[in-house]
Structure formats: C-alpha cells, structure tokens
Structure 1
Amino acid sequence: MKQSIRDEIVLIEALHRGSQRSFEQLYANYTDFVYKSIDRIIRSKDDAYELTNDIFMKVWHNRDKIDSSQPMKNYLLLLAQREAYNFLNSKSAGKTNANIRMDDYLTELSEFIDLTDSENTLYAKELAMTIRLVVDRMPAQRRIIFEQSRYEGLSNMQIALNMDLSIKTIETHISAALRDLKRVVLAFCILYSSAHFLKAASDIRDFNNQPSINIIQAFEGKEEEKPS
C-alpha cells in the first residue's frame, strides 16, 4: 500500500527519536528501490546489495539529520547515486573495501542498542557469538586470512607473504568476509526489536543441532533473498 506524505513524515519524525520499528519500516519500504537504483549504475548485483546495506546503516547513524519535509525517496536516491559513483571511482582507481574494519559497524550497532540494559547486553553477546559462528563457517582459507587480518592485526602484505598468495587474493577474501559480517549486523538491527529476534536467539543457541533460520540464513541468502 502506498504511503501517504503525512505517514512518511510521522515515520521520519519517529526515526529522529530513535525508533527502531520506524527504521524497520523504512527498510521494508525502500530497500528494493535503493538496490535497483544502485544496480542500474554499477551493474553488479552483489556489490549493489552490499552498498544497499551500507546506505541503511548510514541512514540509521545519521537519522537526526534527515529532513522530514523532503520526500524520503529523493533523499535515498541521492545517497544511492553517491554511493554508486563513489564505488565506481574507487574501483577505477584500484581501491577496495578490504580495509574497512568491522569495528565501524559494531560501533553503530552499540548506538542502536542500549547496552546499559541487561537484556540488551545479552543480545549483544548473542551477536558476538553469531559473528564468531560466521567466521568459523567461512571457507578455510578465507577464515585464516580474516583472522590474521582482524584478530592478529597483520597487514595484507604480511598475510600474503605468510600464505604465499597475491595481495589481490588477500583483499578479495577479506572483502568477502566483511560483506558477510556486515549482513549479520544489518540483519541483527532489523530483527532486534521484533519478536522474531527471540526465535533467532533461540535458534543460535541450538546452532550445533540445527542452523538458525533467521540471522544465520538471512546473511547467507538462504532465506532472505536479494531484491529482484
């Protein structure tokens, strides 16, 4: 159902106040539009999906700067075009996203969740455990590369020398690992305040018996399909 201008203003004003449900609704309303706007420019579905996730994380982080008097669609279109052209410029310059640190996303997540609340602290622990599970389920070479980069603090050059691989291969593996982890963070943000997250948390606890059908499968693309 098409959203009225008044409804959108109410949604954005609630977002200004930090409403997580408003963020969920915003994501549901516009994720497909943002994805298609980016893909139309960069012609890469995987990268468009990743950039779409990045945009919505930025929307949450900068929610207090959104002008409720302007159409949200126009604002998101500008963000999508900027991200897409920046991506193309970085690609032509030979730059990659391999040096993006997961800390940035966890910092934004800590703002999203009030960690002074004991129940929310439990959710944060669930996320940390989920991230560890994601890393453990990576292909062996990617997991080793990511752990050397993220946990041991080695440079791409050092890892390449250690593993007798090209720097380009190292960058490719790190980018793929970060893409998966970023999906976990976004999935957590979307599911966090809903009743579905309680089921997801239960699934994670039972991971050894049956993989989660919410967070784990969402970022792997087994249940949450990419926008078409």
Structure 2
Amino acid sequence: MKIKLVVLTVFAFCAVFNAEAQKMKKFGSSIEKKIGPKTIKVPYTDVISYVGYAAPGNEDAVEDGKKFYYIYVWVPAVAPELGVRMVSPVGKNKIKKAIQSAGYKENKSSKDFFDTYITLERSTIFQKENITEEGVKSAKWTTLASNDDSSEMPKQPSGNSYNSLLRYKSEVGSPTKALTAGLYRIGFTTYKRGEVKGTFIAEVAAPVKLPGVVMAKTIAELKKEL
C-alpha cells in the first residue's frame, strides 16, 4: 500500500510539474523595477501572439544545415525595443486574441514539441508597397539578435529549459541595426540539425503601443492584413 501511495504521489507531482512548466508568465521588457525586496521586469505594453504548427518538409529555408521557418512582422513605426519569445508545445496555454494558423487548427491536439531556437531579423524593405514575394526574396536581411535556451521561459514537458526569449534595443543612428518602421521576420528552428515538428506560441512585443503591427506566416497572408 505504501509503495502505491508513493507512486501516486510521484505521478501527481509530475502532472502538476508539466502543467506548471508550460504556463507562460507576462512578457517582461528589459526595463526593471524594484517592488519591495524583488526586482521585476516591467511587462511590455504591446504584445502580439501567433499560434502555429511546424511540420517536417514545410521549412522556408536551410541555413548551416538547419531547417528554418519564418514568421513575418510588419512594424509601422520606430520602436525603442522589441522582444521575441517562443514556447513549444502550446499545451494548455490560452492566449487571448492570438493569431491561429491553419496548421495549428488542424494539429492543436498534437503533443509534439521541439527545442526552439529563434532569431529576429530586419529587412531592407521599409514601405508596405515594396512587400512582394520577389521583393522579400531579393531583400537583404540582418540578424539583430538570437536565442536558444532561456531560463526565463517555462520548461518543456521533458523538464528541459529549451524555450527561447530575446530582447533587442534599437541602435539609434545605425543604418542596419536601428528599429525603424519596416519588415521584420522571426526565424525559428531547433538547436540540433534535424526535423522541426510541433505546436508553438510566438510573441513579438514592444514597450510602447505600435498600432498597425501585422504578423503572418507568409507574405500573401501578411499583405491581406496590411
């Protein structure tokens, strides 16, 4: 009887751990504020969420032997900072007003997840009128920041801290690294070479309101929302 109770206790603990492990907290900016004995990161003012599903063979590019997927983001105004984070799988997270891809809707019950690795890239496209399939292919992309594993993010069901988060402050005056209005993209893959498969939540955030930000998986979908 004692053995059964121990097993049940361990099982219950694991179930609670997995539920809590995937719970996302408020997305904090790089701005810190002291409240009593604690120092917290002030939450971003503007957060846009995208819920998707990465499927093998559906990658957008192969870079250094890794299969990359892209989510495009139109930023209509200058931003002092952008934050990007990704968690896989979606699990029991319920994100209000999240953009849901068709792939996610078809695979929302999937338990597959992957070791996320993210990049924030800025293009040389600064006007809506120049956003076309050919324009995006010929545009130059600059990687502003990247992240593999973040201790700030919830652990995956495996118990590993393999979810990602990055914050990038604008380098005012730099022709390539300033956060101007324009077309950006979130690139994501896995740390190790191989297939990328599973549900995910990707979020882009700013410390100021940026009305008109659009986030989409493809250029065609982006143009429909612009």
More helix by share: 1
Q: Do they superpose with TM above 0.5?
A: no
More strand by share: 2
TM range (shorter): under 0.3
State the TM-score, normalizing by the size of structure 2. Answer: 0.23
